[in-house]
Amino acid sequence: MKKGDVSMPKVALYCRLSVEDGTGEESESIRNQRLLLISYAQKNGWEIYDVYEDEDYSGLREDRPAFCRMIADAKNRRFEIILCKTQSRFTRSASTAEIYLHERFPLWGIRFVTVVDGVDTAKRENKKARQINSLVNEWYCEELSENIRSVLRKKMELGQFLGNYAPYGYEKDTNDRHHLVICNEEAMVVRYIAELYLSGLSCKKIAVQLSLENIPTPSQQKQSRGQDLGRRPCSQWGSGTVRKILTNPVYIGHMVQGKEQKVSFKSQKTIEVPRQRWVVVEHTHEAILSEKTFANIQKKMDQNRRGTRVERV
């Protein structure tokens, strides 16, 4: 085909890399993908419409910014071809691959091509290979997810703290981010909350008292340390926050983790785990409350719950 006969087909180049691919050199890999795709497009006489790049995004996610922009442009028929290094760069989800490669792209007149594994939706005999690729890519993610979950649980069983943020009253040890050390200013508030509760105040009244005294909330404290919460910090104490502090064994030096888990390796949603499957390791860090004080608080809470039930009856 001569360039003068018909217009050159327009191609969208898509590059992606994430932590799941086992390399810390994301930027270098993205550049290499881009150069490979540009060379391949030029060799085939395709006009490059745009380069879409997602860095540090899992191939299972469909909310990747550049991916979403490319799909919108494909739907609006702004190019005729999507070119990737491999099918896994486009997606690691078998269902997503099926929807786009075999349903929507043919409907929109989009041809999907990969350089390394030879995927080409213009070739009918290529379909089985594409479907096998989809399954292999998804199996890879599932196996990786199981391995990561196993490693994390082992770390929990060793008493290592794995949360993004230290519990209120603590901060991560500068010498070991998996170890908690007391934050004195917040620890004083934790002890004050315990004292108020044992003196007879309810969680609701304690929250009101803390707000009246202008004591910074846990989220305000995190923000003051430069931690990005992804939302505005709460300016008022809530009874739920007070109750969580009063019932958390972390304040007697015990590490309790594994309370939630993802629904599946494909989803970011989490579900609560039964208490008997929680990972509890005692005496992993310095306590803020004595075990006697904590036990008295739990006893009082249990009595209050029973009293509430009796009153309702």
φ, ψ of residue 266 in degrees (nearest 5): -90, -15
Over 50: is that where the pLDDT of 26 sits?
no
Question: What sign results for the dihedral spanned by CA atoms 186, 251, 269, 97?
Answer: positive
Q: Which residue has the higher pLDDT, 131 or 222?
A: 222
Is there a single domain that holds both residue 52 and residue 74?
Answer: yes
Is there a single domain that holds both residue 167 and residue 307?
Answer: yes
Is there a single domain that holds both residue 227 and residue 306?
Answer: yes
Instruction: Answer yes or no: is 3 within a domain.
Output: no
Is there a single domain that holds both residue 305 and residue 200?
Answer: yes
Tokens 């594409």: give the residue.
Answer: 130
What pLDDT does residue 181 have? 96
Is there a single domain that holds both residue 201 and residue 108?
Answer: no
φ, ψ of residue 120 in degrees (nearest 5): -155, 110
Structure-token pair, residue 41: 């497009």
Using CA atoms in the order 47, 49, 51, 52, what is the torsion angle rounded to 10 degrees? -140
Instruction: Answer yes or no: is 4 within a domain.
Output: no
Can you give the pTM of this predicted structure?
Answer: 0.57
Range of the domain at 84: 10-151
Candidate from 1-15, 16-30, 109-123, 171-185 with smallest mean pLDDT? 16-30
CB atoms within 10 A of CB 32: 14
What pLDDT does residue 309 have? 45
d(CA 217, CA 238): 9
Is there a single domain that holds both residue 28 and residue 98?
Answer: yes
d(CA 231, CA 225): 15
**What are the angstrom distances between the C-alpha of 288 and each of 95, 183, 220?**
49, 10, 21
CB atoms within 10 A of CB 200: 8
Q: Which residue has the higher pLDDT, 262 or 4?
A: 262
Q: How far is CA 304 from the centre of its chain?
A: 37
Complete edge-to-edge strand list for the sheet that includes strand 81-84:
47-55, 10-17, 81-84, 111-114
Mean pLDDT of the 288-304 span: 94
Among the three residues 93, 117, 151, which one is the final residue of a domain in this structure? 151
Q: What is the mean pLDDT of the chain?
A: 86
pLDDT bucket at 225, cuts 50 / 70 / 90: confident
Is there a single domain that holds both residue 85 and residue 35?
Answer: yes
φ, ψ of residue 60 in degrees (nearest 5): -85, -20
pLDDT tens digits along 189-214: 999 999 999 999 999 999 999 999 99
Among the three residues 106, 123, 151, which one is the final residue of a domain in this structure? 151
φ, ψ of residue 182 in degrees (nearest 5): -70, 135
Over 50: is that where the pLDDT of 284 sits?
yes
Instruction: Answer yes or no: is 5 within a domain.
Output: no
Closest CA to 276 of 263, 295, 258: 258
Is there a single domain that holds both residue 29 and residue 60?
Answer: yes
Instruction: Answer yes or no: is 156 within a domain.
Output: no
CB 84 within 8 A of CB 14: yes
d(CA 255, CA 114): 48
d(CA 153, CA 143): 15
Instruction: Answer yes or no: is 1 within a domain.
Output: no
What pLDDT does residue 51 have? 96
DSSP state at residue 280: E
pLDDT bucket at 167, cuts 50 / 70 / 90: very high
Candidate from 53-57, 71-75, 185-189, 238-242 with smallest mean pLDDT? 53-57
Candidate from 71-80, 133-142, 196-205 with smallest mean pLDDT? 133-142
Mean pLDDT of the 272-298 span: 93
What pLDDT does residue 313 have? 32
* CA angle, 305 then 275 then 242, to 5°: 45
Among the three residues 151, 173, 188, which one is the final residue of a domain in this structure? 151
What pLDDT does residue 144 have? 66
Closest CA to 82 of 15, 137, 182: 15
What pLDDT does residue 205 have? 96
CB atoms within 10 A of CB 84: 25
- pLDDT exceeding 70 applies to what percent of the chain? 85
Interstrand relation of 170-173 and 10-17 (parallel, antiparallel or unpaired): unpaired
Tally of structural domains, the chain: 2
Is there a single domain that holds both residue 183 and residue 280?
Answer: yes
pLDDT tens digits along 247-260: 999 999 999 998 88
d(CA 212, CA 206): 10
Q: CATH number for the domain including 230?
A: 3.90.1750.20
What pLDDT does residue 180 have? 96
Concatenating the DSSP letter of every residue in 209-248 gives HHHHTTPPPHHHHHHHTT---SSPPPSS--HHHHHHHHH-
What pLDDT does residue 6 have? 58
